[in-house]
Structures are given as structure tokens and as C-alpha cells.
Homo-oligomer: A and B are copies of this chain.
């Protein structure tokens, strides 16, 4: 099996949120499709062990915000790259509540769907939830963010590895003194603690 074939599946990017009692959380997923009509149902796939699916199982409710092209990496980082078990992802974040009391995006999303779970498949790594759409609204006119566009335009480029970046200085490992310059003379002695050049480590740009 050539797993690269999986890269050719096209996706949007979504914020899936839930609430159980006072607890709210949300995560980022790229897997949301309309699974059926009359009544309209969505299917979403979430990593089974994460906090958001735990809240969805408890409450039977989830809400999907469809990210648009104004979404930035800070939004993805906040909701997609930390766990709601250890941080309050919504702290200091301005969000809206739907009729079920579930949080959704006020900005950077062009549509929202409030769903009630009608069935779920536990698939090991992931849980596939199917939910009836109780309410839906268009929130804006910016195009939906595609996963391909997230990869090419939103996700920051990885920094070059340290070895590929220029040396801009040297730091004394003993006292912290910084020598500014790419080349540390071999006979250099730290002017603060008098340790030799071999006790200095490079600082990369």
C-alpha cells in the first residue's frame, strides 16, 4: 500500500466542539462530510482518546464550525495542538454559543452546524460520529479553507535545522557570556570567568 495515495483525498478544515455539563472543548479535524439527507446528517472522524470525543460521547452533541480562508495558524495551534485535558482552549478566546450551549467560532468560519449524535462507530484510533443537523447557519462569505490550502498557505514553514542555520555568536556554557561573531578565536578566554573557547557553544541565527 502506497500511503501517499491518502494525500490525494481532498478535505476542508473544521473546528469540532462539544459540552458536557460545564466542560467545553474543541478540536480541529479535516474529516467532515454530509453522510445522509432527510434528516440531514454529518459524519465526522475524531481521534478516539481525545477530550472532545469524550465530551461528545457524554452529551451526545457536537457542533462543527467550517474554517474559512481567514483562519490563521494561531487558531489551529490553539485548538489543534494542545489538549483540553491540560489547558482551557477557550481561555481568553471570543466565541459564540449555539442553541445547545456549545461553543462555535464567531470569526474565521463561514458556516456552523449544530448536531445531535445518532450513531457512532468506534474504529480503534478514531471514532466516527454521525449526527443529525439540528441547526445550520452561513456565517460569512470567505471561501472554505481546504486542507491543501492549510498545508500550503497557513501552516508555517519548518525552520531549517540548526546545522543549516548560520552561527551568529558563541555562548560561554559556564557563565553565559555571549561573544558576538561567527568565528570564536581558538585562544579566546571568557572575559568574565576566564574559561577557554572549548567551553563555548554556538548560537544559531
- A186 on the B face (CB < 8 A): no
- A6 on the B face (CB < 8 A): yes
- A23 on the B face (CB < 8 A): no
In the complex, which range does the number of interface residues on chain A fall in? Answer: 35 or more
Contacts of A1 in B (CB 8 A): 40, 133-136
Contacts of A138 in B (CB 8 A): 2, 4-5, 8
A33 x B34 contact (CB < 8 A): no
Contacts of A68 in B (CB 8 A): 8
- A113 on the B face (CB < 8 A): yes
A126 x B37 contact (CB < 8 A): yes
- A3 on the B face (CB < 8 A): yes
> A39 CB to closest chain B CB, in angstroms?
8
- A91 on the B face (CB < 8 A): no
Contacts of A4 in B (CB 8 A): 138
